[in-house]
Amino acid sequence: MNRLLRYTRITVEAICALLLTALLVDYSMGTARIAGWLARIQFLPACLSMSFGIIAFWLGFTLIFGRVYCSTACPLGAFQDLIARMPSLSRRKKPFRLRRNYTPPQTAVRYAALAILAAGLMGATFILSYIEPYTVYSRISVYLLKPAYGSAENLIADLGEFTGLWTIALVNVGVISVTGIIISVATLAIIAATSIRHGRWFCNTACPTGAALGIVSRYSIFHMDIDTDKCVQCRKCVRVCKAECISMPDHVVDTSRCVVCFNCVNACDSGAITYTSKRKQLSIPMMQRIIPVGSRQGEVSAQGIDTATKAVTAARPMDRRKFLTAGIVAAASPLLARATDKTSARIEPLETGSVPLVPARYVTPPGTKSRNEFLQKCTGCGLCISHCTSQVLRPSSGQYSYRHLMVPVMDFSRNWCYYDCNRCTTLCPTDALHPLTRDEKRRFVNGLARVDAANCISAVEGTPCGACARRCPAGAIAMRPLNDTTPNVMPVIDPSKCIGCGACEYICPAAPFKAIVINGNH
Amino acid sequence: MTEQKLNRRQWLAKMTAIAGAAIAAPVLSGAPDTSGCTDCGRCMPCRYGVDIPAVLRFHAEAIKNGLVPDPSLPVESAAYRKASQRYLGKYSRAITHTHQAHRCIRCWHCLGTCPENIFIVEELEKITAATDKMREALCYE
């Protein structure tokens, strides 16, 4: 039974992680249809897209069964488990994973993570996106794994053509972005180092989802419980516990940190540790613990306060203050961000005749209701970037602001947003891009084209260009005479027809600055 | 048997129809039948970056190898999309997007430069139309 529970957990975890990775690295829409729901059921994307059903499901599930989410649906959890196993595969004699030992909870950091989660839900996703598990994992997949996967697929295609045995279409190797690679490698290094040293340390310290679910799972009905009558104190469970939450001399399992992996249940030879609804021992609470009056750190009370409780006691008075401070700062930051955005929106830097033509606002992907709402909801997971048919979406490296890195931005120097494609809008798990049907997408206005006659080759040189007018899918551009004295023509935009797809900006032959650019929506 | 019964006028009409279909077929399919390009490079350099010989030769090669999707298929069909993916994948690998056919702005500078009398602008226009249809097909997955 115990073995079965553990193997079920491992199977579900592996399937979820593999499907989600396939969704992130594989381009085909078939994978998106099979695995698209896995991105939507992630806790934080569900919170941001206000899917109350999914939130309620996970909270309820956690309240009954503990933090099963962290051991099944979370891709970063599975990834950490995989990395933690790697040293044990190479050095069979001294496996790292058997060296786990109890660590006291980093309660102050956990409350800070919770404050960041709260701030993120109020609009400051830009801090949250660096520690949110789904986003961290998807960035690693999209910016590091996908180029490797795409290259391998192209290699197979080439091999098939060379031998004449099979024909596969060449695929795009994905986005190669310096910012993306730097951020992914940094997070990957931290995750790998902590998971090898301390198992699920990240989940129980920095992870905002872990902090939120930890509060609920502290009261979970089913939990790991040690029967002190059967326990022989062999410490096997302590050594296999990847959450490092079993405090052995006290026979206490910290349920707020336990990720319900069943490793301890499986390891126990005497059947003392079980997954049960009965409470033989009190679990260490994450939040409140009534401390006997007079008992201070280092002092041994009548009940024998364990080391963990001491750590909790020591951390408590400080972390509540920190929690409040962090909460206030985090709550104020979106307001500040909004204030600065409004100031920049009033300034229109584009003047006719200014030759270095850059858009006043960079263009957001289709399906965004407003620029602010998009920047507040998007965590920059890169799913849309990975699936963009025309590869026009790129991770931003400062186009929006220094705060919003890795958020998708349209780069019209590479391609334009194809008229019939609505792929990114159907995939977004956080609802930063609202789903559009193909007809809605064709009418959706990304921005508005603006022309600078000083750069236009047909206006200045008299070359009969008109490439923008010919390539416009909406028929919004007409070539009109510049003035009465010259026969030269320049493009004139019909603002009621322009959808801001960027086909004109892409094709404009003027260099180094285009004569026509798309200004994003407010 | 039937051919013997045709009179001169009927025979002429039939032959004209066959010849017309043969001439019109590549035009209707949106692709030139063969480029005839000898890669002499007299049309180059193109100010707008189109690698004219490479584009013409790639497309001619693609037609020869059956890489161009069947234009009679609907754009939304899976067969057309898969063929498009194959064509566009090779096209973008062979020629960078800044040198592809759709970069032609019809400035007519290459007009008359071709010793093989290829109507370059028109050929590039056809290739652009064909690849645009293939790009549209990619959206219907």
Domain architecture of chain A: domains with CATH: 2-276 (no CATH), 371-520 (3.30.70.20)
The number of CA neighbours under 13 Å toward the Cβ of A4 is: 1
- A96 pLDDT above the threshold of 60: no
| Contact status, residue B87 vs residue A167, Cβ threshold 8 Å | no
In terms of CA atoms, which chain B residue is nearest residue A510? B48
Is the bond preceding residue B45 a cis peptide, omega within 30 degrees? yes
C-alpha A168/C-alpha A157 separation (Å) is 5
Q: Name which of A135-139, A230-234, B74-78 the model is least confident about.
A: A230-234
A475 CB neighbour count, 10 Å cutoff? 10
Q: What does A407-469 look like in DSSP terms, one character per residue?
A: -EEE-TTT----TT--HHHHH-SSSSS----HHHHHH---EEEEE-TTT-HHHHT-----HHH
Look at residue B117 in the predicted model and tell me its pLDDT. Answer: 84
- A285 pLDDT above the threshold of 50: no
* Cross-strand partners of A490: A480
pLDDT digits (tens, 9 = 90+) for B87-140: 998 898 888 888 899 998 888 888 888 888 888 999 999 999 999 999 999 988
pLDDT digits (tens, 9 = 90+) for A484-518: 788 888 899 999 999 999 999 999 988 778 899 99
Look at residue A74 in the predicted model and tell me its pLDDT. Answer: 93
For testing the chain A interface, which of B46, B86, B141 should be mutated: the one with the most A CBs within 10 Å? B141
* Cross-strand partners of B24: none
- Cβ burial A52-79 (10 Å sphere, 16+ → b, else e): eebbeebbebbbebbbbbbbbbbbbbbb
**B24 burial type by CB count under 10 A (0-12 exposed, 13-18 middle, 19+ buried):** exposed
Long-range CB pairs of A195-198, under 8 A, 24+ apart, other chains included:
A195/A80, A195/A81, A195/A83, A195/A84, A196/A83, A196/A84, A196/A86, A196/A87, A196/A96, A197/A96, A198/A100, A198/A103, A198/A244
A429: CB partners within 8 A, 6+ apart = A39, A40, A42, A45, A46, A49, A134, A381, A383
The A-side interface with B (CB below 8 A) comprises 28-29, 157, 167, 169-171, 389-390, 414-415, 418-423, 438, 463-467, 471, 507, 509
Segment A409-430 shows an average pLDDT of 92
**CA angle centred on A392, ends A387 and A397, rounded to 5°:** 100
Residue type, A200: R
A446 CB neighbour count, 10 Å cutoff? 22
- A198 pLDDT above the threshold of 80: yes
Segment A35-48 shows an average pLDDT of 91
Look at residue A333 in the predicted model and tell me its pLDDT. Answer: 58
Look at residue A296 in the predicted model and tell me its pLDDT. Answer: 44
Segment B2-31 shows an average pLDDT of 71
Interchain contact, A418 vs B141, CB within 8 Å: no
Look at residue A465 in the predicted model and tell me its pLDDT. Answer: 86
> CA Rg, chain A, in Å?
28
- A56 pLDDT above the threshold of 90: yes
pLDDT tier at B3, thresholds 50, 70, 90: low
Segment A194-201 shows an average pLDDT of 88
| Contact status, residue A273 vs residue A224, Cβ threshold 8 Å | yes
Residue type, A45: P
Is the bond preceding residue A512 a cis peptide, omega within 30 degrees? yes
Residue type, A239: R
pLDDT digits (tens, 9 = 90+) for A101-149: 888 888 889 999 999 998 888 888 888 999 999 999 999 999 999 999 9
For testing the chain A interface, which of B47, B96, B107, B108 should be mutated: the one with the most A CBs within 10 Å? B107
Contact residues, chain B, for A463 at CB < 8 Å: 105, 107
Interchain contact, A418 vs B139, CB within 8 Å: yes
Q: State both tokens at A164.
A: 């004449």
C-alpha A375/C-alpha B33 separation (Å) is 50
Longest dimension (CA), chain A: 102
Q: What percent of chain A has pLDDT over 90?
A: 42
Name the phi and psi angles at A164, rounded to 5: 75, 20
In terms of CA atoms, which chain A residue is nearest residue B125? A470
Please state, rounded to an integer, the average pLDDT across all residues of chain A.
82
pLDDT tier at A287, thresholds 50, 70, 90: very low
For testing the chain A interface, which of B109, B124, B135 should be mutated: the one with the most A CBs within 10 Å? B135
Helix A75-90 vs helix A178-198: crossing angle, to nearest 10: 60
- Cα dihedral A103, A104, A107, A108, rounded to 10, equals -90
Longest dimension (CA), chain B: 59
The alpha helices in B29-98, defined as continuous H runs, are 52-64, 78-94
Segment A378-397 shows an average pLDDT of 92
Look at residue A320 in the predicted model and tell me its pLDDT. Answer: 61
- B23 pLDDT above the threshold of 80: no
- A48 pLDDT above the threshold of 70: yes
Nearest CB neighbour to B89, from listed A29, A169, A389: A169
Segment A66-85 shows an average pLDDT of 92
Q: Name which of A26-30, A156-160, A199-203, A306-310 the model is least confident about.
A: A306-310
C-alpha A250/C-alpha A304 separation (Å) is 9
pLDDT digits (tens, 9 = 90+) for A241-278: 888 888 887 788 888 999 998 988 988 888 888 888 87
* Cross-strand partners of A276: A223
Look at residue A428 in the predicted model and tell me its pLDDT. Answer: 93
Contact residues, chain A, for B85 at CB < 8 Å: 169-170
Residue type, A436: L
pLDDT digits (tens, 9 = 90+) for A428-476: 999 999 999 999 999 999 999 999 888 888 888 888 888 999 999 999 9
pTM value is: 0.80
